[in-house]
């Protein structure tokens, strides 16, 4: 099988996975009943199905990339010549192995190190939903209509995205992936969608010791260590952090020092923890910064640096 055909097949699987992922997201943000916990049965069934189809295609794309097309096609076809397999591909006659087999192959090969045993168990649950829905029906217990929104978003962010981001070794965070792969309009709706915000907060807390309120989207999903908002993709690396004199939180006040010298070395600062603001002065000589509204005593000024 030529590299060109293998890549074409892998990209087709990947792009189809994105189609079903986008379909599921659009249903949630466009057809949902807003902030209420309850999710309509029809919406739950359709979203579960879309996400599960997306994950099945994503796993196939990942296997093709890592191990080649013969690792996903049915045993009766995998011993055919490259030309014969290529012909089947263009004639839409390739038969692939059962999802269970492919899922276990990914697990055994450790293609996605970040996926835990519990997350593989969740994949099994959604696979069961999808199979029951497609082949006959599935009766969700009534109580599940009140907590499935969070489950759906967890499945998308913590599991499906890990698989999609493993394909082509994409170095993106989940919200970046949505904005640049799924689309900006859909991303804007998601960052106002409470279940998505809650899921992103959980993800940020998983990787960061301190989570603050983002100055762009207003959600408490901004990682202090990474200087990045997991919800809206705001990057605060060009902002300078200092300690807050109000809540005493370290490194929670940020201000833009890029052109501070053009503003008499003063710039407004905001605490991402307690929301208090103030005027920050940054010494043009030593770089020391402080809130001139709260500090008492002798500190650096434009005329005098205390560290000289």
Task: Quick: pLDDT tens for 168-183.
Answer: 657 788 888 888 888 8
Q: Where are the alpha helices (DSSP H) in the chain?
A: 3-31, 41-67, 75-78, 82-90, 99-109, 117-135, 148-154, 161-166, 174-177, 184-190, 194-207
pLDDT at 35: 60
Are residues 126 and 33 both part of a single domain? yes
Phi, psi (degrees; rounded to nearest 5) at 229: -95, 120
Are residues 58 and 195 both part of a single domain? no
Are residues 95 and 166 both part of a single domain? yes
The residue written with tokens 């168990």 in the block is: 121
Any domain includes 97: yes
What is the C-alpha separation between 75 and 77, in angstroms, rounded?
Answer: 5
Let me know how long the chain is: 308
Are residues 225 and 271 both part of a single domain? no
Residue spans of the chain under pLDDT 50: none
What is the C-alpha separation between 75 and 78, in angstroms, rounded?
Answer: 5
The residues pairing with 241 across neighbouring beta strands, listed in sequence order, are 254
Are residues 250 and 160 both part of a single domain? no
The domain tally of the chain equals 3
Are residues 26 and 134 both part of a single domain? yes
Q: Of 295, 216, 222, 207, which is closest to residue 252 (Cα–Cα)?
A: 222
- How many angstroms separate the Cα of 56 from the Cα of each of 42, 100, 237, 261? 21, 10, 37, 54
Are residues 80 and 23 both part of a single domain? yes
Any domain includes 68: yes
Q: What is this structure's pTM? A: 0.81
Are residues 68 and 165 both part of a single domain? yes
Any domain includes 298: no
Any domain includes 300: no
Any domain includes 269: yes
Are residues 95 and 33 both part of a single domain? yes
Q: Where are the alpha helices (DSSP H) in 72-224?
A: 75-78, 82-90, 99-109, 117-135, 148-154, 161-166, 174-177, 184-190, 194-207
Q: Of 60, 82, 61, which is closest to residue 10 (Cα–Cα)?
A: 61
Domain end residue (candidates: 237, 252, 276): 237
CA dihedral (253, 258, 262, 265) positive or negative: positive
CA dihedral (76, 79, 81, 85) positive or negative: positive
What is the C-alpha separation between 160 and 152, in angstroms, rounded?
Answer: 10
pLDDT at 16: 95
Q: Residue 82 contacts by C-beta under 8 Å, 6 or more apart in sequence?
A: 1, 2
pLDDT at 138: 58
Quick: pLDDT tens for 100-159: 999 999 989 988 877 888 888 888 887 776 776 665 565 666 656 556 778 888 888 888
Are residues 101 and 72 both part of a single domain? yes
Are residues 228 and 250 both part of a single domain? no
What is the C-alpha separation between 107 and 23, in angstroms, rounded?
Answer: 27
Domain that holds residue 67: 3-171
Are residues 245 and 182 both part of a single domain? no
């Amino acid at each position: 099988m030529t590299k060109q055909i293998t890549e074409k097949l892998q990209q087709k699987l990947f792009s189809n996975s994105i189609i079903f992922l986008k379909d599921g997201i659009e249903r949630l943000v466009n057809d949902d009943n807003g902030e209420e916990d309850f999710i309509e049965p029809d919406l739950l069934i359709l979203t579960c199905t879309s996400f599960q189809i997306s994950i099945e295609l994503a796993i196939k794309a990942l296997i093709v990339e890592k191990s080649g097309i013969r690792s996903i096609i049915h045993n009766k076809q995998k011993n055919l010549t490259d030309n014969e397999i290529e012909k089947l591909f263009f004639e839409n006659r390739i038969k692939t192995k059962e999802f269970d087999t492919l899922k276990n192959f990914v697990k055994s090969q450790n293609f996605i190190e970040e996926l835990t045993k519990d997350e593989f168990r969740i994949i099994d649950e959604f696979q069961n939903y999808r199979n029951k829905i497609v082949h006959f029906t599935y009766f969700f217990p009534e109580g599940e209509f009140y907590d499935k929104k969070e489950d759906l978003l967890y499945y998308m962010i913590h599991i499906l995205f890990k698989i999609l981001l493993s394909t082509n070794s994409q170095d993106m965070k989940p919200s970046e992936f949505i904005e640049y792969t799924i689309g900006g309009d859909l991303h804007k709706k998601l960052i106002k969608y409470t279940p998505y915000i809650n899921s992103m907060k959980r993800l940020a807390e998983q990787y960061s010791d301190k989570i603050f309120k983002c100055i762009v989207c207003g959600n408490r999903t901004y990682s202090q260590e990474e200087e990045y908002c997991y919800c809206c993709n705001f990057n605060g690396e060009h902002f300078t952090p200092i300690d807050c004199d109000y809540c005493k939180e370290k490194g929670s006040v940020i201000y833009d020092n890029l052109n501070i010298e053009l503003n008499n070395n003063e710039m407004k600062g905001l605490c991402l923890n307690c929301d208090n603001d103030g005027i920050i002065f940054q010494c043009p000589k030593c770089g020391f910064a402080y809130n001139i509204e709260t500090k008492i005593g002798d500190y650096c000024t434009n005329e005098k640096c205390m560290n000289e």
